[in-house]
Amino acid sequence: MQTRSGHPPHRPHSPHSPRPARTARPTRPAYAALAGLRGRLATWEGTIVVLLVASWAVASVSVDGFADTSNLWFILIDVTEIAIMAITLTLVVIAAEIDLSIASTLGLSCAVIGYLWNAGWPIEQIFPVALCVGAVCGALNGVLVTRLGLPSLAVTIGTLALYRGLAYVILGDTAVADFPPRYTDWATGRIPGTPIPYPIVLVAALAVIVGVLLHASPLGRATYALGYNEEAARFAGVRVKRIKFWLFVASGVFASLAGIVYTLRFSSARADNGAGLELAVVAAVLLGGVSIFGGRGTLPGVLAGVLLFGILRNALILADVSNEVLNFVTGVLLITSVLAPNLVGFIRRARAGPGGATSTPPPTTITKEGTSVS
């Protein structure tokens, strides 16, 4: 039966008649993007970003003055030295090693800067000498670890005391000040029209360079490989000892660079500069998702961890919390950053069941030219 127009008449839908097939929704790309976003948020780095935003929101509401522009400048400049040292410590920890002497290297560099400045050296010649001091400190750690086969934890605990003691031998309890204003103003100044301090530009440049080396070069892939399985990396031709040695050297140089920024920022060179800062750096690195066992972690996650640590520290300072409580919070963050990623991995493996997907890294194919993840 047809109507005058030639089309069949409209019949109401019966509950017993088959439903017409659904057509594909045009918003499927949006669903794919949402699924990708959920996958990224499920990672530890995504969790850190969520905690970062939540911490900022809570502190802005509950702490007076936290959301001020001047306080944002203070947060960024307060984590500058931590961020500089955390950048290279990230590579060291991914390689399944540790460097606890970074803060003492910072203090030794500050002592050398103060001593040479008192001796009448121009500041432009002092900075390269300070960087060389850091390179020597890192090289000593590297030789003891790679050539003598000593554990880096024990070595760097020893050099932590050694370098700090040398700083007191060089400078004693004296505080050296009156550095050139053009440098101290840079260390405390900000980009015009923004709350961003100038030293953060240095941090960003270093992060880009090291990030490219870590995530987009054969050196970075080799670093992940030797941290994940050192024996496999060695049999595949990766120069394990050489890479580890230069990672310790880089850690020392970056610690000295942090010492230069620290000295200029406070316009004071003292032997005790940066004392205890190594715990904050290690906590920020592990909080950023780097595995203490090596072979896993990202530099963007570490930078997010540094910023989260700075926000929490700043909020507690504005709330008139004592130094003892700040040390307690640092210890809690350090323990949490070690336990939480492993707990998340255990839960995922338990949900997957035997034979299911796990959170272990994918197999790594190592060649003489580098490594690749299959």
Q: In whole angstroms, what is the distance from residue 99 CA to residue 373 CA?
A: 27
Q: Which pLDDT score, from 0 to 100, does residue 31 have?
A: 47
Q: Which pLDDT score, from 0 to 100, does residue 38 have?
A: 52
What is the SS3 assignment for 264-306? HHHCCECCCCCCCHHHHHHHHHHHCCCCCCCCCCCHHHHHHHH
Which residue ranges of the chain lie beneath pLDDT 70? 1-42, 341-342, 344-346, 348, 352-374
The pLDDT tens digits of the residues spanning 253-275 come to: 999 999 999 999 999 999 999 99
DSSP codes joined into one string, 94-110: HTT-----HHHHHHHHH
Burial class (CB in 10 A: 0-12, 13-18, 19+), 359: middle
What is the SS3 assignment for 29-90? HHHHHHHHHHHHHCCHHHHHHHHHHHHHHHHHHHCCCCCCHHHHHHHHHHCHHHHHHHHHHH
Q: Which pLDDT score, from 0 to 100, does residue 373 have?
A: 43
On average, the pLDDT of the chain sits at: 84
Q: Which pLDDT score, from 0 to 100, does residue 358 have?
A: 44
Class of domain 48-57+64-347 as given by CATH: mainly alpha
Q: Which pLDDT score, from 0 to 100, does residue 306 have?
A: 94
Query: Are the beta carbons of 310 and 82 closer than 8 angstroms?
Result: yes
pTM of the model: 0.82
Domain residue ranges of the chain, discontinuous segments joined by +: 48-57+64-347
The pLDDT tens digits of the residues spanning 128-150 come to: 999 999 999 999 999 999 999 99
The pLDDT tens digits of the residues spanning 309-349 come to: 999 989 988 888 887 888 888 788 778 777 776 676 667 67
